[in-house]
Structures are given as structure tokens and as C-alpha cells.
Amino acid sequence: MIFYIPLFSYFCTFITFKIKMKYNFDEIIDRKGTNALKTDALGPRYGNPDLIPLWVADMDFLSPPAITEAIIERAKHGIFGYTCASQAYYDAIINWVDKKHDWKTEQEWLTFVPGIVKGIAFVIDCFTAKDQKVIIQPPVYHPFRIIPALHHRRVVDNPLVLKAGQYNMDLDGLKKAIDSKCRLLILCNPHNPGGRVWTRRELADIAEICYDNNILVISDEIHSDLAFTPHKHTPFACVSEKAAQNSITFMAPSKTFNIAGIVSSYSIIPNKESREKFNAYLAGSELEEGHIFAYLAAQAAYEHGSEWLDEAKDYIRKNITFVDEYLKKNIPRIKVMLPQASFLVWLDCRELGLSQTELVSLFVNDAKLALNDGTMFGQGGEGYMRLNAGTPLANIQKALDNLKKAVKTRQIG
């Protein structure tokens, strides 16, 4: 008997452990009325508040419980005065970036930024002048184009090229596009909307070209934690000393753990001169001061979120496979660009033979779906739509059934 009790308690612990570890990504949680952009901006943006929302890039899953618990625990204290970043916050970032991406960063390289898009704007403002140019690689995350333009910088397109159903960088095109006015290249690493995880070779080539031409690189690595095996994210700054010394990297736990609303991103700048210049710019408006829940959430996510992330990635990957197989079987004229990272699926709808207006209308008016119109990502986005697969599978099934019906009704499938 004496032997059975420990065995039994081990068994119970094992079961509890298993149950605790199982996060339920199938759970459908109503986000309406929570000021969620994804649901509550459907009316103003799409003209119909009841569409199935598969657009803006956050997920419909509960974040890791450790984040929620840390926030609740802190909120219970009831005093929300001026806050500083703790040593544990910095350690959590440094350990995460080392463990997940094999990059040994130093605390002084890190600075809180109130959002990556804002960070990009700060770099533009701080490191370039009004008549200078910013290079981007479309189709790409639309603020890369919009933000420099709003700051009166000229945007130079170096479009990606399609090879075997995946995007590749056009390095010869890049060399040709560069002139003495080009000061900055904004790199989406991994890529949104195509989901490419750039290889070390590709990144090293970009690093070389930019260094030789005195072009600073912003590496936006917000999707880096979401790379699917066997693809492995390479931080741009790790590919060479030139890359490390000539770049500003932005990372965040926001996409990874579904906490975009908390705003907890940071810059990593190994080069002392660039770092001091950027930090002085931020300090000029106290932009580098984070807030209580940003520090707490980032720390909790990085300290306790790894298992949740593994399960989330498995779930997302299965969703993406489902989309791919469903379309192949039911709407073969729409093709999936299989993402190597993250939950965004780039749908090639060109074979439907519709104009972009007709394509958007097919999704919105006929199928009752809110996806991102491919043209918002710039050159090369025509004929594409971007679908967000970070949602319970049942939502995706319903969305694809709607789309199948709409295509059939229009007789274009």
C-alpha cells in the first residue's frame, strides 16, 4: 500500500499537469463591445458590423494565463504611480532573445518603445532628413510605406519577386534602386504578408549592400517568435558585424502572446553611436518610458509563456493547413502562400479573374468576410487578400464555407 500512495499521487499530478498544460484554442470568445479593433471597427471600416473578422493582426485566443494573473495581481495593489522597468524585465527579454533566437544582447542595447510602428516613425525622424529616401520591399506591412510618406520622405520600392510560390528579395533591383538620397531600409523579418523567414544568406546580402551604401536598416522582428519549424528566425543583427553595427531591431511580445493592446515593444541597438542618438531622441519626449502593465506583461510572457506559445503555434499551423487543403479541394483558383512564420495567410486570388474592387466585394458583400485587401500592402498586392488564421478553427471553417458559396453563386470557382 505504501508504494501505491506515491504512485497514485504521481499519477494525479501528471493528469493535473496535463490538463493545466492544455490551452483551449478552440474556445470562441465574443470580442464585440470590448473596443477590439477587429470586431468593433467592422462597421466603420467595412460597412457591416457582422462580418467574420479575419483582418487586423491580432489573435482571438486568450493570452497565456501568467500574463493575466500578473496584471490582476498588480492591479489589486491599487496604486498606479510612476513606474520604472525592473531588472527582472530586462533579464526576461535578454534570456528570451538568447534562448529563442541565439542572440546575446546587452541590457544597455534595449529601450522600451511605445509600439513598433511608432518606433519606425521615430527612426525616420531621428536618422533621415525630409528630402531623403526610405527603401521598402513590397508587398509589405502597409505602415512601412505610409509612415515615411507621412513624414515627407520619399519611398523607394524594391519589390519582392515570386519564385516557386514564395517571395524572394531582389538584390540586383535593390542595388539599382539605391542612390545617394537613400538613407534607410525597412526590413520585415519575418515577412508580413508573405510569411517568409529570411535566410541568413539573404539577410547577409542585404546587410552588405546597405552597409556599403551607408543605408541604416530597421529590422522589424515582431513576428520572429512565430516561425514554424524547420524555419528558424535569424535576427538581422546576428548575420555579420556590419549588420549589427548598422541596424536598429524592433521586437515585442505583442504578436507572440496576443497582447498588442498592452503595447510593450522595444528596440535593440548594438551600435553605441546610433543608440545614443536614438535614445536622446526618445528622451526628448520621454518616449522611452513604459507603463506598469507593459513591463509586467512582457516579463510574465517571456518568463512563463513558452509552453503556451508552442501550443499556439501548433494550433495556428493546423489552421493554415486546413485553409490550404480546403481551398485546394473547394476553390482551387485561390492559392495559399504557405507562411513560414505567423498567423497571416496570403491568398493569391488572381485566377478568379476579378478586378480588385470585385474581389473585395466578393469577400465583404457576398461571403460576409473581413480580410485585408492585398493592395494595401503596396506593389504586388493586386489580386491578393490576407487572411488571419489566429482564430478558432470553427471560425475559419465557417468563413471558408461562406467563401465557397459566394464563389459558386458567382460561378467563378
Ligand X SMILES: Cc1ncc(COP(=O)(O)O)c(C=O)c1O
Query: Which chain residues interact with ligand X by CB under 6 A?
Result: 57, 115-117, 141, 188, 192, 220, 222, 252, 254, 260, 265
Provide CB contacts within 8 A for 349, sequence distance 6+: 333, 334, 359, 374, 383, 384, 385
| Single-letter amino acid, residue 271 | N
Provide CB contacts within 8 A for 89, sequence distance 6+: 295, 298, 299
Q: Label residue 330 exposed, middle or buried (CB < 10 Å: 0-12, 13-18, 19+).
A: middle
In angstroms, the first-to-last Cα distance of the chain is 67
Nearer to ligand X by Cβ, of 269 and 406: the residue is 269
Give the length of the chain. Answer: 413
* Residue that has been written with the C-alpha cell 470590448 in this structure: 34
Nearer to ligand X by Cβ, of 278 and 326: the residue is 278
Q: In angstroms, what is the minimal distance from the CB of 70 to ligand X? A: 20
Q: Is the peptide bond before 193 cis (omega within 30 degrees of 0)?
A: yes
Nearer to ligand X by Cβ, of 188 and 399: the residue is 188
Q: In angstroms, what is the minimal distance from the CB of 217 to ligand X? A: 14
Nearer to ligand X by Cβ, of 246 and 342: the residue is 342
CA distance to 80, 157, 412, per residue, from 57 (Å): 30, 23, 29
Q: In angstroms, what is the minimal distance from the CB of 278 to ligand X? A: 16
Q: In angstroms, what is the minimal distance from the CB of 112 to ligand X? A: 12
Do 84 and 112 form a contact (C-beta atoms < 8 A)? no
Q: In angstroms, what is the minimal distance from the CB of 319 to ligand X? A: 18
Do 402 and 328 form a contact (C-beta atoms < 8 A)? no
Nearer to ligand X by Cβ, of 182 and 188: the residue is 188
Question: Nearest 5 degrees, angle CA 62-CA 66-CA 71?
Answer: 90
Q: In angstroms, what is the minimal distance from the CB of 369 to ligand X? A: 19
Nearer to ligand X by Cβ, of 239 and 259: the residue is 259
Do 323 and 345 form a contact (C-beta atoms < 8 A)? yes
Nearer to ligand X by Cβ, of 112 and 326: the residue is 112
Nearer to ligand X by Cβ, of 222 and 362: the residue is 222
Q: Kindly write down the DSSP assignment for every residue of 109-135, as one continuous string.
A: GEEEES-HHHHHHHHHHHH--TT-EEE
Q: In angstroms, what is the minimal distance from the CB of 317 to ligand X? A: 18
CA distance to 77, 175, 188, per residue, from 160 (Å): 50, 14, 12
Q: In angstroms, what is the minimal distance from the CB of 366 to ligand X? A: 26
